Amino acid sequence: EPEVTQTPSHQVTQMGQEVILRCVPISNHLYFYWYRQILGQKVEFLVSFYNNEISEKSEIFDDQFSVERPDGSNFTLKIRSTKLEDSAMYFCATSRLDRGKDTQYFGPGTRLTVL
Amino acid sequence: GIQVEQSPPDLILQEGANSTLRCNFSDSVNNLQWFHQNPWGQLINLFYIPSGTKQNGRLSATTVATERYSLLYISSSQTTDSGVYFCAVNTGGFKTIFGAGTRLFVKA
């Protein structure tokens, strides 16, 4: 079964540094998402992306965050200046169809630790 | 926005026991998914089930959309079933809203 992949699996960074989290979607999927899970808490929606544009974002997704699909395969989440509270597991998800019409498949996650 | 409530929050089972996990939601949904988060943090798709009943091995799920709830049944539980079970809903927009999860521990 095709899988969503994410790199790195674990990233440790100093407060104030920029990080880029990478995702490779399932090949025929067109809709991409990032979610965040702070340790012990629920999974929270950050942003959805289609056709090189953000289609929806949450209040968490402020100016510190950006997404892009730089080369037609990778889908990236950039955090410009990390804060301690950005420490979390970040999940990428992809789907063939939007608006809940199809299953969202999640990657294994990147655990971000900000020191 | 829509509220998604899962119960019970925690559950301890003896290996071999059966259990039912519940997900209530406060508004109409386009989609409901059940996930298992294993001890390594990975989110595993269990079911895409906006309505009706589905079965996959020892697991089955039922969603009654008109009454705004879904149930996940685990039969003959095994220690590998331990982890957190999430339901997640979509109301027709782009975001998916997760419940707080049910933390399951299966004892050998």
Q: Please tell me the distance from the alpha carbon of residue B106 to that of residue B58, in angstroms, as a whole number.
A: 14
Average pLDDT on A86-93 reads 97
In this structure, are residues B80 and B64 in contact, taking their beta carbons and an 8 Å threshold? no
* Residue of chain B nearest A40, judged by CA positions: B100
Q: Tokens for A3, please give them.
A: 């899988």
CA distance A111 to A9: 6
Percent with pLDDT over 90 in chain B: 84
Digit-coded pLDDT (tens) for B13-54: 999 999 999 999 999 988 999 999 998 889 999 999 999 999
Q: What is the pLDDT of residue B95?
A: 84
Distance from CA of B88 to the nearest CA of A (A): 9
For chain A, what is the mean pLDDT? 92
- Report the residue from A33, A42, A109 with minimal CB separation from B100: A42
Phi-psi region of B41 (alpha: psi -120 to 50; beta: other; left: phi over 0): left
Does the distance separating the beta carbons of A106 and B35 come in below 8 Å?
yes
Which pair of tokens denotes residue B57? 């091995």
Q: Which amino acid is at B106?
A: V
Q: What single DSSP character describes residue A104? A: P
Whole-number pLDDT of residue A70 = 81
Residues of B with CB under 8 A from a CB of A: 29-31, 33, 35, 41-43, 45, 48, 50, 86, 88-101
Subunit contact A45:B96, Cβ cutoff 8 A: yes
Min distance B99 CA to chain A CA atoms (Å): 7
- Grouping H, G, I as helix, E, B as strand and the rest as coil, residue B8 is coil
Q: Could you tell me the sign of the dihedral formed by the alpha carbons of A101, B87, A94, A45, in that order? A: positive
* pLDDT range class, residue A6, cuts 50, 70, 90: very high
The pLDDT of residue A100 is above 80: no
A109 to B90: CB separation less than 8 angstroms, yes or no: no
The pLDDT confidence band at residue B97, using thresholds 50, 70 and 90, is very high
Contact between residue A45 and residue A61 where contact means Cβ atoms under 8 Å apart: no
Picking from B48, B95, B99, the nearest residue to A56 by CB comes out as B95
HSE-CB of B61 using CA atoms within 13 angstroms: 24
Q: Which two tokens stand for residue A64?
A: 């510190």
Q: Are B61 and B70 within 8 A, CB to CB?
A: yes
